[in-house]
Chain A
Amino acid sequence: MAHRLSHLDTLASEAIHIIREVVAEFERPALLFSGGKDSAVLLHLAAKACWPQRVPFPVVHVDTGHNFPEVLEYRDQQVVKLGVRLVVGSVQEDIDAGSIVEQPVPGATRNRLQTYTLLRVLEEGRYDAVFGGGRRDEEKARAKERVFSLRDEFGQWDPRAQRPELWNLYNTRHQPGEHFRVFPLSNWTELDIWQYVEEQDLELPQIYFAHRRMVFRRSGMLLALGPWTKPRDGVASEQAFEATVRYRTVGDMTCTAAVESAAKTPAEIIVETSVTKVSERGATRADDRFSEAAMEDRKREGYF
């Protein structure tokens, strides 16, 4: 078609425009990288936005200490491949230093604890704009967040005091101490991400694709058998078994669940995603199940 862009090209151009706007108007940007598919697409687009230069800003990883080894390996490969600087914020170090206290339950999730580490790393780096891979289709509170989302000096989000965001004219002005979270993938859906991964032939951590793994069921979710997650003694329903699974999201191992799937390629995942009945976060994230406002509450505190 003459002079028409596909929806993926439109979304990619929009994301690149947003990234360049940050490079032009901020002094110290950084990119939050979890090793998940959204941050992988984001980093890929950042490389395109900066081409032919290297990505000039650092990649920040908040390490809960409960990682999938495949994801850490992937993170390190990507950092070398793109020649970007990696900054790691360790939740374990903050626990050891006594800055945060872990719940005294074996296998307790560190999901909420990582907000402290995140805010500490952002403050130490004096970053004024921090890219995140958040998408508005993920969750109802995210659906109302701006592309350029202002955080106060405590890193908090105030959903009722958001600035109107018009056209593609982003208001980047802020007071010292405040920073922006910037979400170039705001308008992407899970399906768009997979279509883009396929189109661009992007590498992702292996755990996104079907593999055999020892798992057990807890509250309807499939958790991996690992150093931090084990069936509880005497709970018959938590019998471990081997299954063919893949992950739809990548997070802390203690709260990220797998889905049973035989999809081995992005194309097969696209087919599955098109017919799936359960949302990405509903299927795989124990952290969003606490209450209907779980995400809103965490975001207000400064979460990703």
Chain B
Amino acid sequence: MELLRFATGGSVDDGKSTLIGRLLYDTKQIFEDQLEAVQRTSLSRGDEYVNLALLTDGLRAEREQGITIDVAYRYFSTPNRRFIIADTPGHTQHTRNMVTGCSTSDLVLLLIDARTGPTEQTRRHAMIASLLGIRHLVLCVNKMDLVGYSKARFEEIRGEFTGFSERLQVYDLTCIPISALTGDNVVDRSPEMPWYGGPALLDHLETVHIASDRNLIDLRFPVQLVIRPISSEHHDFRGYAGMIASGVLEVGDEVVALPSGFSTHVVSIDGPDGPLQEAFPPQSVVVRLADDIDISRGDMLCRPNNRPNVGQDVSAMICWMAERPLRAGTTFAIKHTTRWARALVRSLQYKLDVNALHHDSRASELELNDIGRIHLRTTAPLFYDEYRENRETGSFVLVDEQTNATVAAGMLRHPVG
């Protein structure tokens, strides 16, 4: 069975939690005791109907304020697929959570209230999904029951959204009219909207083709751990453990180790359940090589004629996640693949205006939740690819060296000219 990870986005009252509650409920993932707890709480709050949103609002403060604060991960499965939902809050101040949710997702599900149409938050989330390299966007026009299941209203919203999304990098956009509250077009096709010829939401999630989203071309193996057992039994064992970031690695392949540049070939690959002939993402493996060359954590194996960019001067889009604004001239710790280094922000190229998709090159700082383009100089070379081509070797985080907080999510661009 295949695993599909998706994130949800939209504004505060678009009904995300209700939709997720509905998906879990209709696929029978909600247990009786959990439903009873929600019914009790709903009743005590005087809700008119059982508030399925309460299924996902896990923290006390969230239930008290009726809002979602943090990314919540939810799980359900059908006979065809296993799903992981990153349920992200809709408030502007928590946009960093959308970035977090998208970073591990294959697909993003965006909710729009049929009465209001796309909002600034919808556009912001669509932009973030595009920036984070999400290939599949599903636009759920929710609360169709409140607009009389109107086809005209649905088409109007779809047109408005498409006008915006054409300027983004979205490979696959699907629009579905739904009502999370009543369940229309969520699990089953709705009898209320015979004019809609597409799949119900769950159908789409079960069948959307994600296998070719991974990069199986460019072999990148960041070394996570050097395994040298100190025992007589494994006296000469020297293995390199890690997760295949991209590409396919086969026994016998010639590989180059970066940064040393020495080449050798693969003698064996061991996966979690024993020896393998080949390995591909996201397998965790141990690789043994024919020659004893100097390789340590943070180094990378690739093919001699297909190497990543190597550099200390890099350019990236970042989402700023700290209260204290980012200014050029600040130094951070950077984690990229399995490598830590320090990074100086040399310059802020521009701040992205999310609504107009316009570059503000006069901006002198990035505030919490701002997105912008920066140039970095790192203390050690990074072995990287453009994020769009390779999520694993194209992503990094910046960490404040004083507080140790994670302050930015970064997506690398092609080398600075």
Using a CB–CB cutoff of 8 Å, the interface residues on chain A facing chain B are: 1, 3-7, 9-14, 16-17, 20-21, 23-24, 45, 48-53, 136-137, 139-144, 159-160, 162-171, 173-175, 186-187, 189, 191-192, 200, 276-279, 282-283, 292-293, 296
Residues in B whose Cβ lies below 8 Å from that of A20: 224-225, 241-242, 284
CA–CA, A3 and B84, complex, Å: 21
- Where the two chains meet, the residues of B that have a C-beta atom closer than 8 Å to any C-beta of A are 1-3, 31-34, 37, 41, 55-61, 63, 69-75, 77, 82, 84, 96-97, 99-100, 103-104, 211, 214, 216, 224-225, 227, 229, 231, 233-234, 237, 239, 241-243, 248, 270, 272-273, 280, 282-284, 286, 297, 321, 333, 335-336, 338, 391-392, 395-397, 399, 404-406, 409
CB pairs A–B below 8 angstroms (11 shown): A6-B1, A12-B272, A12-B284, A14-B282, A17-B243, A48-B272, A137-B74, A140-B57, A144-B70, A169-B397, A292-B60
CA distance A160 to B233 in the complex (A): 48
B205: min CB distance to chain A, Å: 14
Partner of A13, one of B1, B33, B97, B284: B284
A173 near B58: Cβ-Cβ < 8 Å? no
State whether A171 and B399 are in contact (beta carbons under 8 Å apart), knowing that A10-B282, A144-B70, A166-B100 are contacts in the complex. yes
CA distance A170 to B297 in the complex (A): 15
Chain B residues, Cβ within 8 Å of A136: 73-75
Cα distance, A265 to B59, chains bound together (Å): 36
Residues A13 and B34 in contact, CB atoms below 8 Å apart: no
- Given known A48-B272, A141-B58, contact A53–B404 (CB-CB < 8 A): no
A174–B69 CA distance with the chains assembled, in angstroms: 24
Report B-chain residues with C-beta under 8 Å of the C-beta of A143: 56, 58, 72-74
- Asked if residues A7 and B82 are in contact (CB atoms below 8 Å), the reply is yes
- Can you list the 9 inter-chain pairs with the closest CB atoms, starting with the nearest? A140-B58, A282-B33, A279-B31, A16-B284, A173-B404, A13-B284, A7-B3, A7-B82, A166-B103
Residues of A within 8 A of B248 (CB): 3
Q: B34 and A171: CB pair below 8 A?
A: no
Shortest B36–chain A CB gap in Å is: 9
Contact of B34 among A49, A142, A173, A279 (CB under 8 A): A279
Find out whether the CB atom of B60 lies under 8 angstroms from the CB atom of A293.
yes
Q: Which residue of B lies closest to A191 (CB)?
A: B77
Interface contact A24-B34, CB-CB below 8 Å: no
Residues of the B chain whose Cβ atoms lie less than 8 Å from the Cβ of A11: 3
- Asked whether A159 lies within 8 Å of B70 as measured between CB atoms, the reply is yes
Is the Cβ of A52 less than 8 Å from the Cβ of B229?
Answer: yes
Give every chain B residue within 8 A of A6 (Cβ-Cβ). Answer: 1-2
Report the bound CA distance from A14 to B214 in whole Å.
16
Interface contacts beyond A20-B242, A50-B227: sample of 8 additional A-B pairs, CB < 8 Å, sorted by A:
A3-B214, A20-B224, A24-B224, A141-B58, A144-B69, A162-B70, A278-B33, A293-B59
Complex: A186 Cα to B241 Cα, angstroms: 22
Contacts of A21 in B (CB 8 A): 224, 338
Measured in the bound complex, the distance between the Cα atoms of B71 and A293 in whole Å is 18
**Docked CA distance A252–B368 (Å):** 45
How many angstroms between the C-alpha atoms of A79 and B61 in the bound complex? 41
| Minimal Cβ-Cβ distance residue in A for B83 | A7
Give A8's nearest chain B residue, CB to CB.
B1
Q: Once the chains are docked, how many angstroms separate the CA of A3 from the CA of B281? A: 8
Q: How far is the CB of A40 from chain B (nearest CB, A)?
A: 16
A52 engages B234 (CB within 8 Å): yes
